[in-house]
Structures are given as structure tokens and as C-alpha cells.
Structure 1
Amino acid sequence: MATHPPNPLDPDSGGTGHGEAPRSERLSNWTRHGVILPALVLLLCLGVTRQLWQDARDSARQELQTRFDFRVRESNRRIEQRMLTYEQVLRGVAGLFAASSQVTRQEFHRYASTLRLKENYPGIQALGFSAQVPASEIARFVDAMRAEGFPDYQAWPAGSREWYGPVQYIEPFEGRNLRAFGFDMLTDPVRRAAMEQARDTGKAAVSGKVTLVQETDRDMQIGFLMYMPIYRDGASPDSADARRDSLSGWVYAAFRMTDLMNELQGDRPVELDVEVYDGNQMSDQSRMFDTLQESRAAVFSNPLTSIQRLEIAGHSWIVVNAALPGFAASADTGKAELILRGGISIALLLALLTWLLLDDRTRALRASEQAMRLALYDVLTGLPNRKLMMERLGQSIAAARRERGRVALMFIDLDRFKPVNDNYGHAIGDLLLKEVASRLQHSMRESDTAARLGGDEFVLLLPRAESNQGVAVVAHKVLQELNRPFLIAGHEFHISASIGVAFFPDDAVDEKILIRYADDAMYQAKHSGRGTIHFYRHPGKQA
């Protein structure tokens, strides 16, 4: 007959094959196992916790880097798109000159007024026209300007030169812009280079870093200008020589850099330190803008730093973006911390449980699981209960706030369920509720949560509701599933459901209001004839 090794946990099993092992030996085994096994479990759990904590921390860093890269792309794209918009404004002004043999001051003023620069194109300090005047005609040009009602007009700075480029029109014709009236921009090498580039290419050109003549001793800022050439008789010459011969002047826009960048930032939270450098060199001399006015060494020591070159109307800018301390602090490190704290707690708990399990290895786990199940899940259907649903809803709304996402909540109330209970008894009704729960689970995505609030009321939580259409698809799928016949204990039942849907943040700002609005929408669906879906709409809001 085959023999079996002795079982040290079985008091009827002989430890030596000659009867029951001595009590002292069994106690020694229990004591030795009671020390070694919990210690091994503790060390193993702590090791796993450390690895998971490191993985979560690396994931949080990667997520932070990804979010930083997105913010940088978004910031640079705003600069490029805004400058393209301003270029289109200049093209529109150029079209005014092309459509008229001579644009008068009143026509220029009316056109600029219709643009409503401050409201529609914030960031433009001035919109103007600078004529190209040969030396032989400058005296006649100045006399004509004075005859228009500007007796003090002059092309400045004074001096003789072959060509002049004085500001003839400028809007808004008020405030600091009056200081630029008559200024000959061709006398400044930086402006002249951009003007000649625009003249020879027939395209918009941006100047390098300048100080606008509009500046005073108060609130001085770095500036730049964008030029668009105007050719006589609306011509479009096809060569550089022809363009030079046909040039009559330039329309231009002047910008104050700090005003422009602050306008681009708007009311958004300041998360990045943005620096803009003129040309291809990064130096104090070429710096045009800095959010914080910090030293470059402080910026470049930041691991979350991006350096990119932008081409703005034929001119290069270097844009440096560095994350501010608040940006890094907003990283979701809670998961790593939760894993660390939870892992240590679990390690200690498991070590303790291991020690207890050597005495009674089933009772504690069974009681713990049952308590957890009763606390968070519906006993009948196995779905999350109200408590767990509220926790997940709160987490989903918190995530949506961080990521600027949307959360949808469906409130589902069964139609024609009460007659089932009344006519067939609660046992049949309970089986029907369990089948309803099963169909809800098959109708939703893995990221969604179906819960039972009580009675015949259910909710479906969609933490990633990108579009109303997608939510409507899920709602219709649920309704379709619940409209199918139910075969319960040999009986066929036909029920349906009224579904109300509400969104965060479109409809509600927190979970309590969201639940209430979804409930209101459900009652609207029920009043609409049952078996329908209703999206919450604020009272008085147009459909």
C-alpha cells in the first residue's frame, strides 16, 4: 500500500509515521511558520509595491511630459495662427488700395473703423500706410499733407535721401499713435530691411526687434512691424525689378510685443514661461518677450523646456517654453502616492493575515470580502450600489475637470415593472432585475459603470462622453436591450425604460446636481410616453 507524507496541519496525521507527532514539535512548527511566512509575505509585498510605485511615478512623469508638449504646441500654434490672421488683415487693406486709384484719408479711416481693431484684432497697436516718395517730390508731398489740415506735418527725421517712406495714414489716429505720424521708416535699417523684403517678394514681411516710435517713457515695450507692399494701379508685378518700379508704398501693422503676447494668453492659467527671441540667436539683445523676465540659465535648467523656431511672414523667431512650478505641481502624482501608501498598508495587512491564517486562514478573508461586497455592491444584482457609484462619479468628474473632458450620467427607470411584482411576486421580480443588470453590463463600455440605486432604478455612468451623439448611441443600445422580451421562469415579460441623460460640465457643476438633473430628465422621458430618452435641458433654454 502506498504511503503518504504526514500533514503537519492534520492532528490525526503522524509526523513520523508512528502515531501523532508530539505536541511540542507541532507547536515548534507553528511558531517557526508564524515568523517566517509573514516576514516573506511582507518582503515580497514591499518589493512589489516599490516596483509599482516606480512605474506609477514614471508614468506620471511621462504624462506630465505629454501634457507639456501639448501645451507648447498649443502656445506656438496660437502665435502662428494669430500672425496669419494679422497678415490677412493687411491683405484686406492692400485690396482696398488695389480697388481704388487713390485711397483718401477718410476712406482709410472708414475701412479701419469697420475692422474694429481693438475688439476683433487685439494685439495690433496701429494700422497704417507709408508712401514711397522720391526726393524730388517730398516737398510737394509734405505740402499736400499740410493742405489736408495738418500744418505741422513733416517727414522726419530730417535729412536728404533718395527715397522717403513717411507715415501718411495711421489708425487709430489717437493717443500714442500720433507720435508715428510722418515718421520715415526707411531711415531705420531694421524696418527698411523688412520693407525692402516685402517690396521685392510681393509678400508680407515682419521686421526684426525695434522700439516703436509710439513708445514713451511709461510702460515701454519691445515692438515689431509687419509690412505688405502696395503697387500702383493694383498691379501684381512678377519680378523684383518690376515690383521696385511699380511700388507706391506699404500698408503695415505695428505691434507692442508684451501687449500681443498677453492678449494671446488671455484668461488662461499661466502654466508656461514663454520667451521669444528675434532671429536665430538667443541673447539678452535679441529677446523680445519673457513671461517672467528670468535669466536664461534658470529657464534652461528646467527639464520641461522646449526650444522651437517659428517662421513668421519670412522672419524667424525662436520661442522657448518652460513649465512653471505650478505646472509640475499639477502632475497627477496621487496614483504613485496611493500605490505607495496602499502597498505598505496592504503589505502589513497581508503579513498580519498570513499570521492569522495559520490559525484560521479562511474566516478573516471570507468576512472581509463579504463586508466589502455588502458595502459597495448591490446584493441582488451584483452591480455597484449608490455608495460605489457616487465614489466613481466623483472621481470621473475630478478627472474631467483636470482634462477638460465631459461626463454623462444616465438615469434609468423601468417601465411596466410594478405589474410584474404585483402579479407574479417579488421572487420573479428579483430575477427580472438581475436580467436587467446583465443586459446593462452588456450594453456599456469597459470604462462605464452600471449601478443599481434601489427598486427598479439604475444609473449608467459614462466617464468619457466625447460627444452627445456617442452617448445617444449607448442610450439607444440600452433601450433596445431592455425592449427585448424577458424569459423568466417560463414567463415572457415585456418591459421598457425611461432614460434621462445629463452632462458634466454642460448641465451640472457637481455630482449631486448632475444626478438630480439626470433624474429630472428621466421624468421628462417618462412623461413623454415612456420607453424614450430625454437629454436634460435647462428651463428656458432653446432646443
Structure 2
Amino acid sequence: MARPPYLQIPPWLWLIALVGVMLSLATAQQARRDAGDEAMQRLAFSADQVTLRVEERLAAYALILRGASALFDASETVDRGEWRTFVEGLQASALLDNVEGIGFARHVTAERLSDYLATVRAEGFTDHAIAPSGEREAYGPVHYIEPFSGRNRHALGYDMFAEPVRRAAMERARDTGKATLSERVELVTEQGEPQPATLMYLPVYRRDIPQASTAERRDALLGWVYMPYRMYDLMAGILGDHDWSDGQPLTLSLHESEGDARGALLYASDSEPAPASTFQQTRHIDIAGQTWRLLFRHRSPGAAADLTAAGWRLAGGLLLTLLLCALIASLQGTRARALAMTQALTRTIRQRETQLERAVSRLRTIAGRIPGVVYEFRLEPGGHSRFPYASDGMRQIYGVAPEQVQDDATPVFSAIHPDDRDAVVVSIARSGETLTPWRQEYRVRLPGDRLQWVFGDAPVSSCR
């Protein structure tokens, strides 16, 4: 049994449905890619912000050490009281809240070791000794450290020049005259659970001694100003007041960089490393002779991109495809009925137009046979007036054609006798204000200087 025409689905409708499904899948896939790109951009922005903050903080610390070095350049000698006053002035800044302190390590040759120990003991540290003990060509003991309290007291006298990692950084600083970061160390002041640490050194040279070459800088060396950093405390100070993850579940790990490989771990925001995925960003910081590698990852890579938009696009596309196909099928089934209705409406409209034309023709015939003129007069805001409609009697009464006054009534008023014109204008205005019928008798000048008395009578209505 053949289906009725309105139930038959044309093949091209299946093609439209297939195209709609394919477009829905394509837009959903594009939304998924856009969401991934947006997530990666947010991750990159967070990585850039954190990297910038770390760089700025380390640069600020290098400037502070420059100021400490300048203190020695500006004074013959710097005693413990002056050093304490200098550091206490710096501690007013929040920059040093997460720093262990600021110290000065003296460069002491083996020949001058006895004199150095005697000088320190004369300051009240009667049992002062250099640790670790032993004979060496040169020493770099901690001479000043502020604040000189708590665990920092254990650093006094510690010979950093005896430890290979610290010594390497101190020698680079000595030979270059620049601030230098050490590799990962463990601070001698650690108590309990130790943290990865690093130190920044800046050399201090004796005044008025040439420092142009490496050899001259070694001969002029007085010591080093330095800052020790416990890395977790340092990063807490840098990131603590900043939503560095921008609301994302991110992890941050900081490593020493050894070429393309990761070196020792300096800091990790999470105890458990995040799984490797494409949603990660790597940044490198080159500062003070060291390269740090910052690795940013999502804790949940699968949830890194918000796929809500992709789901809505797919659902919306499929729904629109379904609705479009249903609409087309409905239109296909009702096309004949709509065509018939259109034809019927067309016939009705034509009949009404014919009837209207006949009515207008009759009205014009009647208006033409009525003595005088039948008209519609409009007085618009601002004083402009016109006759949208006037019968042919306008020619007999005023001597003007109806077409001449459709947009401007001036020809009619010009035909009114000058002695009566003002009275006509006043009567029209009064009738318009009171909405009472207008009645006025006046004279009209016709061609050939003929005068004709006219009596005007018209009902008034408001067009507002």
C-alpha cells in the first residue's frame, strides 16, 4: 500500500539531516578545541605571572645585596651595630618576611686566621671558632648575620668556603663581581624537617683597590654579603598573597636546570606530582648564574578544559537539525493547502480592490455633483496646512486645482480676499482649539477680479 503524499520522506530530506548531524559534530569538535586552547592560555598566563613574580623577587634581593655592598664601600669599617641597624631598616619591607636573614661572610686567608679569631673573640664571642675545623688555604666564615636570633645564631662562624657547592657560587661571585646563586644546599641553621635551600652571594671588595681583572678582584676581596633562602618559605612569600593558579587546580614544581634535563628539586606545591599531560607549561629563569626550571601542570588534566560549550553545541546542533527536518517535512505536507489558501486570498483581495475602486468612483461622482467643494483640511503643528482631499469644486470656488493644495493650502488662502483672510485664519484656529464646527462667511477673488461670497461649514476632529 502506497503511503499518502504527506507521509513520504523525500531523499533530499535525509541528505539535509546528514549534513546537519555532520555540522553539529564539527562545531562541537571546534568548541572542544577552543576550550582546550583557552585552558592552555589560562595555564600559560598563570605560568607567566608566577615566573615574572619569581624573577622580580630575586632581582629585588640582588638589589638589596647591592645596597649592603654599598654600605661597606661607603664606610671605613662596618661593625655589628651598623650591620644590625642596616638590616633592621630593610626588615620594614615585606620583601624580607620569608628570608632567613642577611649576612656577611669574611674572606680570611690562612695567614690571617689567628688575627681574625682574636678580633671576633674581643667583641664578646669568647668561644668563637670556625666550623668545620681544619687547616685550609682560605676561609669564608659567617661574620655577621641578622637577625641574630634563634637558629641564625648557629650560622656564626660557619665556613661556607669549605663546602663545595657554596664555594663554587662564592668563587663565581668573587671573579665576576656579580650576584650569584648557589645550587641546592641544606642550611646549617636547619632544625627539624629540612627544606631545600639556596644562597645568593654578592662580593664586597676593599675600597680604592683596582678591580678591573679577575686577578685584581681576587686580591681586593673583603668578603661576601649574602642571603640564605629556604625555598618553601621563599615561594610562600612570593605566591602567598597571589592567586597564582587563577582558580585552576594547578601544581608547580621548581627544579634546577641542567641543560635540557631537570636537576635537583627546589620546590613543589603538592606532595604528589600531577600526572603528565599536554596541559602543562614550562618556564626557565636565568638569574644570578643559575637556571631554574618551573613546571606547571593540571592536577586533573581531563577536567582542564571546560567542555560544557561543546556539549551544548552538539545538543543544540542535533536539536536544530531535528527541528529543521520536522519543519521541512511539515512544510512539504502543507504546501498544497498553503498554495490553495494563497490563491483564495488573492481572489478575495482582487474582488475587494474592485469594490473599493467602484466605491471611490461613486464618491467622486457624488462629490462632483454637490454644489460647492467637499474637502478634508488639515492644520498641522507649527501652522502648516493642506487639503489631502478636495473635490473638483475646488476649481469653481477657489480657482485652483485639487492637486495644487494636497501638500500646501497656501493657494486657497491666497484666493481669499485680503480683508477677510485674517478672520478666516482666526476662525480656523479657534475651531481647532475648541473642537467646535467651523463656520465662516468670506469673499474669494476669482480670475478676472471677480468676487464671490463663500460660506464654509465643516465639522472638526482631533488627529492626536
- Normalising by the residue count of structure 2, what TM-score does the alignment of the two structures yield? 0.67
For each residue in 1:427-447, what CA deviation from the matched residue of structure 2 results, as whole angstroms up to 9, or x when unmatched? xxxxxxxxxxxxxxxxxxxxx
Cα shift readout 1:276-333 (whole Å, capped 9, x = no counterpart): 22240688972222222445xx65x3212233432120122232222332x7635342
Does residue 265 of the first structure (1) align with residue 222 of the second (2)? Answer: no
1:183 Cα deviation after fit: 0.5
Q: Is contact 2:36-2:304 (8 Å) kept? A: no
Matches within 5 A, 1:55-454: 55-116=30-91, 119-216=94-191, 218-233=192-207, 235=209, 237-267=211-241, 268=243, 270=245, 271=248, 272-280=250-258, 286-294=264-272, 299=275, 301-325=276-300, 329=303, 331-360=305-334
**What are the residue-to-residue correspondences of 1:391-540 with 2, within 5 Å?**
none
- Tell me how far apart the structure 1 counterparts of residues 210 and 73 of structure 2 sit (CA, whole Å): 10
**Cα distance, 1:284–1:57 mapped onto 2, change above 3 Å:** closer
Q: What's the CA shift for 1:43?
A: 2.4
Equivalent residue, structure 2, for 1:452: none
How far did residue 98 of structure 1 move? Answer: 0.5
Report SS of the residue matched to 1:191: helix
Report if the CA contact (8 A) 1:117-1:124 is conserved.
no
Distance 1:361 1:181, change over 3 A: farther
Q: 2:81 and 2:335 mapped to 1: Cα distance?
A: 94
Cα distance per residue 1:342-376 (max 9 Å; x no partner): 11221222222222222447999xxxxxxxxxxxx
Q: Please tell me the residue identity of whatever aligns with 2:147.
A: P
Please report how far the alpha carbon of residue 334 of structure 1 lies from its aligned counterpart in structure 2 after TM superposition: 2.5
Structure 1: segments with no counterpart, 5+ residues? 1-23, 365-422, 425-543
CA contact (8 A) 1:135 1:164 kept: yes
Larger Rg, first or second structure (1 or 2): 2
What secondary structure sits across from 1:176 in the alignment? helix
Q: Deviations over 1:375-423 (max 9, x none)?
A: xxxxxxxxxxxxxxxxxxxxxxxxxxxxxxxxxxxxxxxxxxxxxxxx9
CA contact (8 A) 1:198 1:229 kept: yes
Hey, what's the Cα distance between the residues in 1 that align with 2:283 and 2:306? 27
Return closer, same or farther for 1:77/1:362 CA change in 2, 3 Å cut-off. farther
Q: Describe the SS at the equivalent of 2:8.
A: helix
Which gives a bigger RCO, structure 1 or 2 (Cα 8 Å, sep 6+)?
A: 2
Give the secondary structure class of the aligned counterpart of 1:125: coil
- Pick one of 18, 41, 59 that aligns with 1:43: 18
- Which residue in the other structure is 1:529 paired with? none
Q: What is the alpha-carbon distance in structure 2 between the residues aligned to residue 187 and residue 310 of structure 1?
A: 28
Is the partner of 2:28 in helix, strand or coil? helix
CA contact (8 A) 1:208 1:279 kept: no
Q: How does 1:13-24 map to 2 (within 5 A)?
A: none
Of 82-91 and 43-52, more deviation after overlay is shown by 43-52
Q: Aligned residue for 1:30?
A: 6
On the 8 A contact 1:274/1:322 being kept in 2, the answer is yes
**Identical aligned pairs, as a percentage?**
35
| Equivalent pair of 1:206/1:314 in contact (CA under 8 Å) | yes
Q: Distance in 2 between matches of 1:107 and 1:324?
A: 49
Q: Relative to structure 1, is the Cα distance of residues 334 and 235 closer, same or farther in structure 2, using a 3 angstrom cutoff?
A: farther
**Which residue of structure 2 aligns with residue 394 of structure 1?**
none
Distance 1:222 1:118 in 2: 24
Structure 1 residue identity aligned to 2:256: D
Structure 1 residues 51 and 221, CA gap change in structure 2 (3 angstroms): same
- Counterpart of 2:307, as a letter, is T
Change in 2 beyond 3 A, CA 1:75/1:235: farther
Q: Distance in 2 between matches of 1:361 and 1:285?
A: 76
- Whether the aligned pair in 1 keeps the contact of 2:257 and 2:292 (CA below 8 Å) is yes
Encode CA deviations 1:104-141: one digit per residue, 9 max, x unaligned: 11111011001116723343212100001122222222
> CA–CA distance in 1 between the matches of 2:56 and 2:228?
17
Distance 2:179 2:280 in 1: 31
For residue 188 of structure 1, report the CA deviation from its aligned partner.
0.2
Is 1:204–1:227's contact at 8 Å kept on the other side of the alignment? Answer: yes
Distance in 2 between the 1:361 and 1:84 partners?
Answer: 78
State whether residues 253 and 269 of structure 2, in contact with CA within 8 Å, keep that contact through their aligned partners in structure 1.
yes
CA distance in 2, matches of 1:89, 1:37: 77
Change in Cα spacing, 1:205 to 1:143, as seen in structure 2 (3 Å) is: same
CA contact (8 A) 1:98 1:235 kept: no
Q: Secondary structure at the match of 1:229?
A: strand
| 8 Å contact from structure 2 (residues 104, 142) kept in 1 | yes
CA contact (8 A) 1:209 1:223 kept: yes
Instruction: Map Cα deviations across residues 121-172 of structure 1 (whole Å, 9 max, x no partner).
Output: 3432121000011222222222222222222322111111121111111011
Contact 2:91 2:97 in 1 (8 A): no
TM-score (norm 1): 0.57
- Give the conservation status (yes or no) of the 8 Å contact 1:97–1:234: no
Give the distance between the partners of 1:166 and 1:359, measured in 2 at CA.
Answer: 98
**Residue in 2 aligned with 1:387?**
none
What residue ranges of structure 2 are gaps of 5+ in the alignment?
Answer: 339-379, 382-464
Distance 1:294 1:83 in 2: 27
Q: In 2, distance between residues paired with 1:31 and 1:164? A: 100
- Asked if the contact 1:277–1:318 (Cα under 8 Å) also holds between the matched residues in 2, the reply is yes
Aligned length: 336
SS in 1 for 2:314: helix
Residues 279 and 304, structure 2, Cα contact 8 Å, conserved in 1 = no
In structure 2, distance between residues paired with 1:103 and 1:48? 77
Paired with 2:55 and 2:201, the residues of 1 have a C-alpha distance of 16
- The SS at the match of 1:124 is coil
SS in 1 for 2:194: coil
